[in-house]
């Protein structure tokens, strides 16, 4: 009761369906090429137009190649899906940022950086990592394609109200410990289903101290604990990030908006269905050893012994054994990018480790900015030079090897340290083995050629 989640959700309820869900108004629908074509087809079959086309923003990101984007996509099936989105946007009168458009990038990187995702909004997309936008103080969550069609048709969705959970993280993070490590730590404690059925508010001094990029990373991973979404009450950090963004309110409207947004917080008397508190001091740089994101440990720890058939299957797939250390395992691939860690701060962190060092000969590294704007910023800060001198190349923006729908596939059996969000079997390509970690851990692996504690390289 009286949580920020209640305030935003309840305000958006158009009606409560008797003995059923809430009809929730959606302020922003994002759509990409993978989960939208069947929704558009459904709209056509029913003879419907988009109810509020100006609330909808579309861009391809999953299939986009990360090189030579000025040339036609080689894979005809990927090309068709990307072309279909463009045609659908034309037919339905929607805003579309195509591959070479300066606003293109991973949809969850672009929304915040353009100021399209704002505090107090309801935001959905046919993509589970829509939880990312919760960092702006919005109720943002992933939906299925049928639900994408619902929002196109009515700007509403039918949804049972989730329960609320507050996760407090208190204290100061150690050197080399990032928002990614906080998220991987929370997942290791809660498991991938620990927050299922809940919407999470992240709070506490550690969370408050995170930059906007860090908050986006933390909220991005809410779904990996099973939570429908996660958010952080907006504050001065949020406002400073948003000020001057192309779609953020300007002038008088800005002052009015900030005054309204400043009210967006849980009441002193707020009651959550569940409340958990963790200590920042307990968190070290994290890495996963298994085949779901909850199978993570501190980088200096040993792989736990399997507890059941599912654990055994995971370790067999990863070619690891209980009791082994993660440190020292040879690494074949390093992936920096994704909606989790494809923002400017992530490239700064990676560059801080590789500066003055060289990429290890046994490592193939894919560095993929989350958007063209991120790439521009990398160049403006001269990080491209640092990375190039260390033997790395920067690719063009897109989801890339996070789920390997384009050509960026980790080959079968190869071990990758990835800053992405999922280490499921075959996620980064059939047979690929993924260890999830922060950009610092990824950089340490990239220059040493094996899993390395980045704190030893400072």
Partner 1 sequence: MKQPFHIIESTCVPLPLENVDTDQIIPARFLKATDKEGFGENLFRDWRYNADGSPKDFVLNDPTYSGCVLVAGRNFGSGSSREHAAWAIAGYGFRVVISSFFADIHKQNELNNFVLPVVVSEGFLARLFASIDADPKMQVRIDLPNQTVTNLATNESEHFDINGYKKYCLENALDDIDFLVQSKDKIAQWEASQKA
Tell the residue number behind the tokens 């082994």, with chain if given. 324
Q: In the bound complex, what is the minimum distance in angstroms from residue 201's beta carbon to partner 1?
A: 17
Residue number, 228 or 373, with CB nearest to partner 1: 228
Closest separation between CB of residue 228 and partner 1, Å?
Answer: 5
Relative orientation angle of helices 145-154 and 37-46, to the nearest 10 degrees: 50
Closer to partner 1 at the Cβ: 294 or 454?
294
Q: Residue 416 in contact with residue 331, Cβ under 8 Å?
A: yes
Smallest separation (angstroms) from partner 1 to the CB of 248? 18
Among residues 62 and 373, whose Cβ is nearest to partner 1?
Answer: 62
The strand pair at 333-336 and 364-367 is best described as parallel
- Nearest residue (CB) to partner 1, 150 versus 203: 150
- Determine the Cα–Cα distance for residues 345 and 211; give it in Å rounded to an integer: 9
Nearer to partner 1, 125 or 367 (CB): 125
CB of residue 224 to partner 1, shortest distance in Å: 8
Enumerate binding residues for partner 1 (CB under 8 A).
14-15, 17-21, 23, 25, 34-35, 37-38, 41-42, 46, 48, 51, 62-63, 77-78, 80-81, 84, 126-128, 142-147, 149-150, 153-160, 162, 192-193, 196-197, 223-224, 226, 228, 292, 308-310, 313, 403-405, 412, 422, 424-427, 430-431
CB of 221 to partner 1, least distance (A): 12
- The CA distance from 369 to 353, in Å, is 17
Phi, psi dihedrals of residue 323, rounded to the nearest 5°: 90, -15
Min dist. Cβ of residue 310 to partner 1 (A):
4
Tokens of 364: 């193939």
In Å, what is the CA distance from 445 to each residue of 143, 182, 270, 323, 365? Answer: 35, 20, 44, 21, 10
- DSSP one-letter code for 344: H
Name the DSSP letter for residue 324: -
Q: How far is the CB of 69 from partner 1 (least distance, A)?
A: 18
Query: Nearer Cβ to partner 1, position 80 or 379?
Result: 80
| 124 φ/ψ angles, rounded to the nearest 5 degrees | -135, 160
Q: CB-based burial of residue 361 (10 Å sphere; 0-12 exposed, 13-18 middle, 19+ buried)?
A: exposed
The Cα–Cα gap between 29 and 151 comes to 7
């Amino acid at each position: 009761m009286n949580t920020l989640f209640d305030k935003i959700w309840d305000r958006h309820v158009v009606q409560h369906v008797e003995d059923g869900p809430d009809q929730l108004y959606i302020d922003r629908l994002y759509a990409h090429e993978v989960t939208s074509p069947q929704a558009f087809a459904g709209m056509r079959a029913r003879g419907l137009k988009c109810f509020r086309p100006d609330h909808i923003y579309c861009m391809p990101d999953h299939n986009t190649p990360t090189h030579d984007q000025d040339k036609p996509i080689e894979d005809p099936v990927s090309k068709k899906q990307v072309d279909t989105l463009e045609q659908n946007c034309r037919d339905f009168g929607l805003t579309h940022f195509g591959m070479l458009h300066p606003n293109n990038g991973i949809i969850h990187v672009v929304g915040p950086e353009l100021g399209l995702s704002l505090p107090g909004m309801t935001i959905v997309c046919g993509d589970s990592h829509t939880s990312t936008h919760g960092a702006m103080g919005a109720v943002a969550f992933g939906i299925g394609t049928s639900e994408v069609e619902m929002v196109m048709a009515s700007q509403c969705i039918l949804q049972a109200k989730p329960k609320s959970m507050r996760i407090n993280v208190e204290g100061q993070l150690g050197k080399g410990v990032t928002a990614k490590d906080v998220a991987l730590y929370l997942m290791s404690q809660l498991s991938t289903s620990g927050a299922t059925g809940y919407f999470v508010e992240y709070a506490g001094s550690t969370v408050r101290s995170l930059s906007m990029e860090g908050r986006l990373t933390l909220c991005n991973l809410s779904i990996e604990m099973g939570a429908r979404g996660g958010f952080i009450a907006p504050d001065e950090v949020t406002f400073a990030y948003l000020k001057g963004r192309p779609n953020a309110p300007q002038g008088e409207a800005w002052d009015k908006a900030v005054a309204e947004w400043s009210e967006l917080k849980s009441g002193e008397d707020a009651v959550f269905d569940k409340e958990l508190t963790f200590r920042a001091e307990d968190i070290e740089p994290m890495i996963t050893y298994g085949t779901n994101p909850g199978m993570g440990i501190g980088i200096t720890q040993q792989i736990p012994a399997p507890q059941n058939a599912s654990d055994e299957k995971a370790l067999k797939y990863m070619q690891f054994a209980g009791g082994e250390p993660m440190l020292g395992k040879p690494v074949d691939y390093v992936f920096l990018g994704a909606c989790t860690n494809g923002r400017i701060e992530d490239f700064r962190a990676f560059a801080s480790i590789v500066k003055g060092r060289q990429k290890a000969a046994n490592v193939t590294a894919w560095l993929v900015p989350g958007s063209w704007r991120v790439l521009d910023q990398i160049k403006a800060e001269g990080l491209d030079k640092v990375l190039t001198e260390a033997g790395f190349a920067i690719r063009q923006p897109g989801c890339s090897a996070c789920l390997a729908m384009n050509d960026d596939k980790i080959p079968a059996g190869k071990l990758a340290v990835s800053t992405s969000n999922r280490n499921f079997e075959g996620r980064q390509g059939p047979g690929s083995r993924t260890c999830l970690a922060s950009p610092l851990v990824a950089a340490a692996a990239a220059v040493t050629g094996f899993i390395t504690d980045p704190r030893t390289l400072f």
